[in-house]
Amino acid sequence: MDVKQRALHVIKDNNVIRIRGEYQCKAEKLFKAQKMLKNIRSKCWRKGIPFNLTLEHLLEVFPDECPVFKLPFYMDEKKVHTSFSPSVDKIIPELGYTIGNVQVISFKANAMKRDATLAELYIFAQWAEKLYLSRK
């Protein structure tokens, strides 16, 4: 990846391509991490979920793209939530939102992980593969 590619992020949403500079993306990431941390802290306090995250740790585990789908996160200044908005995932849910037990993935990936078993994901993948191959 050359310098120009690293300095720009291409975001596709509703067939609109926006190119944003690196500085703007870093500022958005910081703002989004602060907001996510505040919301998680409040949720954990209300529900009694273990919590010891810091902003520094959250930024350490906050990649530029979803590690599952390899697509950039969509962070909109209008605060619109999309499938590719960043989402904090508890790796082992019972351990709560604690240092070493969280990762930032897309909302879509987090919902799939939360709502489906490994067997269901495997069955879905087999079905999708058959559907794709039948179109060739």
Identify the CATH number of the domain in which residue 69 sits.
3.30.40.220
Q: Which two tokens stand for residue 36?
A: 């996510």
pTM above 0.95, yes or no: no
For residue 36, name the pLDDT band (cuts at 50, 70, 90).
very high
For residue 114, the tally of other CB atoms under 10 A from its CB is: 11
- Counting residues of the chain whose pLDDT is more than 90, the rounded percentage is 54
| Domain assignment present for 70 | yes
Residue 128 lies in a domain: yes
Side chain identity, residue 58: L
Which one, of 63, 71, 70, 69, lies nearest residue 88 by Cα? 63
pLDDT of residue 5: 43
The pLDDT value given to residue 15 = 44
Would you say residue 69 lies in a domain?
yes
In a domain, 11, yes or no: no
Instruction: Please give the pLDDT value at position 115.
Output: 86
Of 97, 89, 80, 133, the C-alpha closest to 115 is: 89
- Establish if 7 belongs to a structural domain: no
Q: What is the pLDDT of residue 16?
A: 43
Structural domain span for residue 52: 23-134
Average pLDDT over residues 55-79: 86
Query: Is 13 within the bounds of a domain?
Result: no
Instruction: Evaluate whether residue 16 is within a structural domain.
Output: no
**Torsion of the alpha carbons at 123, 126, 129 and 135, rounded to the nearest 10:** -90
Dihedral of alpha carbons 72, 99, 45, 92, sign: positive
Give me the number of domains the chain comprises: 1
Question: Do 64 and 25 touch, CB atoms closer than 8 A?
Answer: yes
Is 15 within the bounds of a domain?
Answer: no
